[in-house]
Structures are given as structure tokens and as C-alpha cells.
Amino acid sequence: MPTLDSLFDLRGKTALITGGSRGLGAEMAEGLAEAGASLFLLARRAQWLEPTLAAFREQGFVCHGTLCDVSDADQVEAAVRAADEKLGRIDILVNNAGVTWGAPPEEMPLDKWRQVVDVNLTGTWLFSQCVGRRMLAQGGGSIVNVASIAGLVGSVGAEMSIPAYAASKAGVLGLTRELAARWGRRGIRVNAVAPGFFPSRMTEKLLERMQPQYEAQVPLGRVGRAGELKGVVVFLASEAASYITGQTIVVDGGATAV
């Protein structure tokens, strides 16, 4: 029987993380590296990517990266080829890149709808397909999609309406289940993480206005803290979750339980 340490050991594994240069994506990447994985990070801007690569290398992590618009199929293919060249293979894919736009449903601009869906859902699809082909050829791998509780529940009474974000994250959950069903017998596990509110660039303005109100509705009485996502991602990527696929782990302090 494997030991607990060996179940969570990612030494010798490689991981590609979209949106991995800062915020929650950088936290997830750091957790994978701390468990032993070599990293390839993707970001939209060099000013976000380069400092994170330097910081991770200073910590002794094997870390590479490149710029990529996850909604552009040609850029996705180029980024995956670059990861292949640097790492030799891709064992773990974390689809984390995401954007949002707030507007009432009756006022949502079509171009903003398309932008959010293209990044959050189509980007997840493009990377899953491109990396999935390689995982099928090598005999397996683990994909972790970052969804949101916005894909599970509506926002009655919330200050901001996010119809495109909610739809895209619900789509990520459906895609997770479908890929898990199709690829499970071919060695690929596909799971999702659905965070609640965590401090990030995406949520900072909203939390400035409504954090106390939100926390009053959460059983644990607070928003998420730094470090509370990295363990979940390492778990799903590792052999500790070897019999788990097609599932969503909700990390929201109990918000969707009430």
C-alpha cells in the first residue's frame, strides 16, 4: 500500500498552469512545485509573468513560462509545444485563466459576453483538447479545471450581476464531467475546483464594498485565505485522488451549503 507521503509526491511530474503568474493561479502553481512538480506558467502579460518566474526560481523550483491568450487556438498550440520542449511531457494541466464582466443581464454587451466565454470556457476547452491529445498519447494525466460557485448558484440580491461569468463557469463544470467520462478509461482524470470568494485582482473592488455582507452569509464567517486552494489542487493532481474523476470540490467556507 502506498504511504501518505508518496500519494501526494509530485516529484518527476510536470504541470502547465494557465493564468499562473499571479493571484490564485500562482498559489496553485506554488503548491504543485512544493510537492515536487516542474512548472510551465502562462500569462497574458510579461510584467505579470517574469517576476513570478524569477521568484519561483529563487525558491528552487524548476519553472518556465510564456505569454498566451488562452482564447486563441494558435497561441494555445504554440504554448503547449513550448511546454513540451521545456518539460518533455505534461502530466498535469490546471485551467485557471479567467476574466469577468459585471452587468445586469438585460444590459450585458455582446462583445463582453463573448470575451468572458472565450477566455473562461473556450480557453479551458482549447487547452484540455490540446494537452489531452498529448496525455492520451503518453498514457494518462490529470486535468484540474478552476470553476466557481457562480457556476453552481445564482446571485439573487448580489450587488453585481455576472451572467457571462456564471454561464462560462457552469460550462466548465459540464465540460469537466464530459471529458472525465470520455477519457477516464484512457488514463486521464478530469476534475474541477469551485472557489467561493477569495481576495484577488478580480474580486478586490467587490470585496471592498461588500465583504462584511458576504461573510455574514458564510458558515465559516469569512472569505478564503491565502493557501486554502493549493492543497486542493495538489490533491486532485496527485495519486491521492487516483480514483476521483468528474468531480467538483467546492472551496467556499460553506456558502453554497446554506
The set of catalytic residues is 165
**240: how many CB neighbours lie within 10 A of its CB?**
16
Strand partners, 67: 43
- What is the three-class DSSP state of 58? helix
Interior/surface letters 196-207, b for 16+ CB within 10 angstroms, e for the rest: bbbebebbeebb
Residue 55 to residue 110: CA distance in whole angstroms? 39
The angle formed by the CA atoms of residues 102, 210 and 202, to the nearest 5 degrees, is 45
The C-alpha torsion from 119 through 167 and 227 to 93, rounded to 10°, is: -50
Extract the C-alpha cell encoding 232.
Answer: 486542493
Please report where in the chains the cell 452569509 appears, as a residue: 217
